[in-house]
Structure 1
Amino acid sequence: MYRTGLNDLDAVVAVAREGSFRGAALALGMSTTALSNAVAKLESGLGVRLFNRTTRSVSLSEAGRAFVEQIAPALQDIHGAMDGARSRQAKPSGTLRINAFAAGAREFISPLVFAFLRRHPEVHVDLVTEGRLVDIVADGFDLGVRRANLVPADMIAVPLGRPQRHAVVGSPDYIMRHGEPRTPSDLAGHRCVRIRTPDGALYRWHFEKRGETALIDVTGPITLDEASLARAAVLEGVGLGFFLEQDVREDIAAGRLRRVLDDWTPPLGDLCLYYPGRRNPSAALKAFTGLARDLARKART
């Protein structure tokens, strides 16, 4: 007789949340085949189809929707109890899932994540980067990383160090040929590398100085959707680029890129690690947030 396991229930909730078997498998760290088999076994055991499947989409059936609505809160309680039990262990272990935007991840992965893994080799860190803001609790993450102004009010936030800034840069060759913009409005006469955001919109360059703000829809010969590609284009002299400072800091220091409009790009606010105020955080979560606080204190001194 087939007995339903916790992993089978997690699989159903993950597919419902992600809207696809592939996305759910990635979230759970298992193969798509194994996840599909787990859902199929549960459906067979229940005698009802939980998902409507086509070659292009997956959606909950009416029975599946009612089933997920009933089991999801119970699963949260069960996992909370398991987290509570793990929190009593002396040695951090298990998996920490972290959601961050790519530039933020590049900023903290070396001083924090790598240092943590060296101290706690029995912990596995699953770091997911994406541009969209997510509900870290609903999407199954333990921690998130965003700028302070984007952290939800009901979360505990830990500043990770120096505030972020934007930087407008160009290659020395480009600036020699086209000159240096002195104000944001001067960008109308420049070739710029345009960036498309994850939702498909073209990113507008944001500037601020002494209370005056400007949002500029730049024009240029190329549109890209990834910061490393935009950096390569700017290094080649294609045009000016708009980046988070940490992505081009070494290029500026080495003279490969020159910064312009520096006085129009004030600090954006601290980069923060954030997490829900659980009553029983795991030993791994407590160790990770503790290390983050230690590093933040050292950065301020």
Structure 2
Amino acid sequence: MRVTDLSELAAFDAVARHKNFRRGAEERGVTASAISHAVSNLEARIGLRLLNRTTRSVSLTDAGSVLVARLSPALLDMGSALDGLNQFRDTPFGKVRINVPSSIAPFVIGPVLGPLIKANPNLTLEVIATDRLVDIAEDGFDAGIRLGESLRDGMTAVKIKPRLRFVLVGSKDYFKKHGKPRMPADLKNHICMQNLYPSGVRYSWVFEKDGKAVEFQPSGPFASDDHELLVQVARAGMGLAFVWESRAVRDLKDGTLVSCLESWCPPEDWLYLYYPTRKYLSAGLRAVIAAMRA
């Protein structure tokens, strides 16, 4: 088989899995027009339409479904065979795509990037940071990172560092005017900024002490899914913010912000790096896991 044939088959496989030319192109590292051209060339050569295209959707024809069912496992086997050559190299070679929530990416991925890339100069890391829920298999990622929670069948999870926690912070000026809350129940008398999911849904602040959990729904004049903005609002003395401690660590150290209800803010569950369970794990992903494992 010619190299161009294999490239076209890989292009078709990527589009077929994502049902989207743009996402398939992103996975392959090419433009959407290039991947569309490759699929069209494949269809012209075999004389069959493999994809139904409209302005809004992409779907497989019957012929396309038959081809992708046989093609995807074969391409995975070829990728595994090529990755097996890493045993003859000093360091892994190839690309690893990771999805991580943007709210925690800097202090989860950031600390390991330098040492990991220095130790593996032939490894390319592609990190996509987003707080939206992502299907890593469908979106072409090798692995994802999330807080400890149940994962769907077919996924393997590895505990990674660091262990994070939320803290409740406010400025010195704010506390001079309003005092410090001593219990979560005291928050009803404070200005409390609201936390949002990327979907726009507000979520409660959850505190825990001695096995007792307490929820509080803030109703302050500002709401955001961006912890950096919430820190800035608290820094300006507008009210209290409930944020990842690592986002506020510099302000806490220099005294710009002060934390409260410390004993009610235990560490969150562990973070996990998760990936599709399969018999063969690429050398690149193994190197990432080794660098991040708790």
TM normalised by structure 1 equals: 0.83
Of 208-217 and 246-255, more deviation after overlay is shown by 208-217
1:30 matched residue in structure 2: 30
Could you tell me how far 1:248 is from its partner in structure 2? 0.9
Amino acid at match of 1:215: E
Could you tell me how far 1:119 is from its partner in structure 2? 2.1
1:10/1:181 CA distance change after superposition, 3 Å: farther
CA deviations over 1:70-108 (Å, ceiling 9, x no partner) = 433333333233333445433322212112112432123
Query: Is 1:62 the counterpart of 2:61 in the alignment?
Result: yes
1:39/1:233 CA distance change after superposition, 3 Å: farther
1:112/1:231 CA distance change after superposition, 3 Å: same
Amino acid at match of 1:193: M
Q: 3-state SS of the aligned residue for 1:267?
A: coil
1:139 matched residue in structure 2: 139
Identical positions, percent: 34
Conservation of the 8 A alpha-carbon contact between 2:159 and 2:270: no
Of 225-234 and 163-172, more deviation after overlay is shown by 225-234
1:8 matched residue in structure 2: 8
What pairs with 1:152-301 in structure 2 (closer than 5 Å)?
Answer: 154-161=155-162, 163-276=163-276, 278-293=278-293, 296=294
Could you tell me how far 1:115 is from its partner in structure 2? 1.0
1:60/1:291 CA distance change after superposition, 3 Å: same
1:187/1:11 CA distance change after superposition, 3 Å: farther
Conservation of the 8 A alpha-carbon contact between 1:209 and 1:263: yes
Between the aligned partners of 2:31 and 2:205, the Cα distance in structure 1 is: 41
Could you tell me how far 1:262 is from its partner in structure 2? 1.4
- Runs of 4+ aligned structure 1 residues displaced above 6 Å come to none
Could you tell me how far 1:257 is from its partner in structure 2? 0.9
Could you tell me how far 1:166 is from its partner in structure 2? 0.7
Between the aligned partners of 2:180 and 2:32, the Cα distance in structure 1 is: 52
Between the aligned partners of 2:233 and 2:158, the Cα distance in structure 1 is: 36
Of 78-87 and 273-282, more deviation after overlay is shown by 273-282
Between the aligned partners of 1:157 and 1:196, the Cα distance in structure 2 is: 27
Could you tell me how far 1:117 is from its partner in structure 2? 1.0
Q: 3-state SS of the aligned residue for 2:104?
A: helix
1:119/1:86 CA distance change after superposition, 3 Å: closer
1:82/1:263 CA distance change after superposition, 3 Å: same
In structure 2, stretches of 5+ residues that fail to align are: none
CA deviations over 1:22-64 (Å, ceiling 9, x no partner) = 333223322222222222222333431503221xx22204334
1:129/1:17 CA distance change after superposition, 3 Å: farther
Between the aligned partners of 2:144 and 2:181, the Cα distance in structure 1 is: 37
Conservation of the 8 A alpha-carbon contact between 2:18 and 2:138: no
1:209/1:137 CA distance change after superposition, 3 Å: same
Conservation of the 8 A alpha-carbon contact between 2:103 and 2:131: no
1:299 matched residue in structure 2: none
1:52 matched residue in structure 2: 53
Query: Is 1:82 the counterpart of 2:72 in the alignment?
Result: no
Between the aligned partners of 2:57 and 2:150, the Cα distance in structure 1 is: 31
Q: Give the count of matched residue pairs.
A: 291
Between the aligned partners of 1:246 and 1:180, the Cα distance in structure 2 is: 21
TM normalised by structure 2 equals: 0.85
Conservation of the 8 A alpha-carbon contact between 1:181 and 1:187: yes
1:15/1:177 CA distance change after superposition, 3 Å: farther
Between the aligned partners of 1:170 and 1:213, the Cα distance in structure 2 is: 22
1:98/1:203 CA distance change after superposition, 3 Å: same
Between the aligned partners of 1:83 and 1:260, the Cα distance in structure 2 is: 50
1:73 matched residue in structure 2: 73
CA deviations over 1:143-202 (Å, ceiling 9, x no partner) = 3322344566851514324x2111111122222223322222322232222222123311
Amino acid at match of 2:11: A
